[in-house]
Amino acid sequence: MSKYFFTSESVTEGHPDKICDQISDAVLDEILRNDPNAHVACEVTATTGMIHVMGEISTECYVDIASVARNVLCDIGYNTADAGFNGNTCAVLTSIDMQSPDIAMGVNESLEMKNGGSDADDRIGAGDQGMMFGYACDETPELMPLAISLAHRLAKRLACVRKDGTIPYLLPDGKTQVTVEYDNGVPKRIDAVVVSTQHKKEASLEQIRADVLQHVIQPILPKEFLDENTKYYINPTGRFVVGGPVGDSGLTGRKIIVDTYGGMGRHGGGAFSGKDPTKVDRSAAYAARYVAKNIVAAGLAKRCEVQLAYAIGVAHPVSVLVDPFGTSPYTGEELAAAVRKVFDLRPAAIIRTLDLCRPIYRQLAAYGHMGREDLDVSWEKTDRVDALKKALNHSVE
């Protein structure tokens, strides 16, 4: 297609699903802070007046899960009657079991170790079967698709102007969406922008639309992508007073496209939040992004998608696929061979290389896990560029 439109959305930290993601990852962080080797799979649901934390956790430390949940809610801004949900007074239920011994048997000792292996990075088997995807492209400085990058920036800005009082009548729940027009695979203009924000009932629609345009949209969107035909939809229903868990139930892992590439690039289906890094749903997805970003940063492709696949209890990936979408002088097979030389994609090696046993996850649970150069995350580094070029006998400048 020479001309087409692509749309991505984001949500604010006060969206019901994102509340659950943040609580799940805050529980994980608190456990990792005290027990870096813990096995955690923490899920959260939210509804009117209630948070339910559940899952399988094996750890030697104690965490006050209810206090963690309440702190997250209050930090987001759910601590007043106006928001319709109050972290100080809501019910917090917990239902926690230990990790299944059948799963632990494969994670704690991989098939390779059982067959006589001695390599330290063979010790951990993948925590589940499945496939994980990573993606990168040259549309933005952080090598992310333009639409999701802008949608995240708008959502963050919406939360910022609420918290700093610039728009004092805003409430925590909100969503953003950006449609980009492409020509021959290159983003040319922004065609449409949607911002829906929860607000106090006394705010008028005219005031909301004027303030969001001035304080949220205009400071974020690049002027060179805007024109007289760009369309703006601000609270298009006309009213958004009831929001958060009162307006809609929330669930961990229900915003996996928001968490990754906004639909540009495929997704294996596994969510991230609340899972310790032995779960390849999380760690291998970060590794795949790390690989794809280094390929694009090295100038080996303009767009790149990486698929990794694992078998439960087995350390080595069962397949590594690289698709440069015809934007590379190398074939996918050549790029995949270079990736296997340069990157160790066993779970233990990924955890060690990307330093994933740190309590870094709650900060990722809103506004995307990928492209976060504002945070100290190792999968956004481009430190394998020269090694990839060398593996391909590509000239290193």
pLDDT at 103: 53
Q: pLDDT at position 223, please?
A: 96
* Mean pLDDT, the chain, integer: 93
pLDDT given at position 376: 85
Phi, psi angle pair for 142, to nearest 5°: -85, 5
C-alpha to C-alpha distance for 279 and 136, rounded to whole angstroms: 22
pLDDT of amino acid 113:
56
Residue 301: how many other CB atoms lie within 10 Å: 24
List strands edge to edge, sheet with 91-97. 91-97, 50-58, 39-47, 250-251
Q: Where are the alpha helices (DSSP H) in 13-145?
A: 16-34, 65-76, 101-108, 111-114
Q: pLDDT tens digits for 58-77?
A: 998 999 999 999 999 999 99
Look up tokens 């080595």; give the residue. Answer: 316
- Residue 102: the pLDDT is 53
pLDDT given at position 120: 66
121: pLDDT strictly greater than 70:
no
pLDDT band at 110 (very low <50, low <70, confident <90, very high): low
Give 118's contacts (C-beta < 8 A, 6+ positions apart). none
Cα(312)–Cα(309) distance, integer angstroms: 10
What are the pLDDT digits (tens) for 282-314? Answer: 999 999 999 999 999 999 999 999 999 999 988
For 111-162, give the DSSP string: HHHHTT---GGGSPPPSS-EEEEEEEETTSTTS--HHHHHHHHHHHHHHHHH
- Evaluate if residue 109 carries a pLDDT over 60: no
Contact between residue 272 and residue 369 where contact means Cβ atoms under 8 Å apart = yes
AA identity, residue 267: H
Name residue 3's beta-bridge partners: 183
- pLDDT per residue over 226-241, tens digit each? 999 999 999 999 999 9
Asked whether the predicted pLDDT for residue 44 surpasses 80, the reply is yes
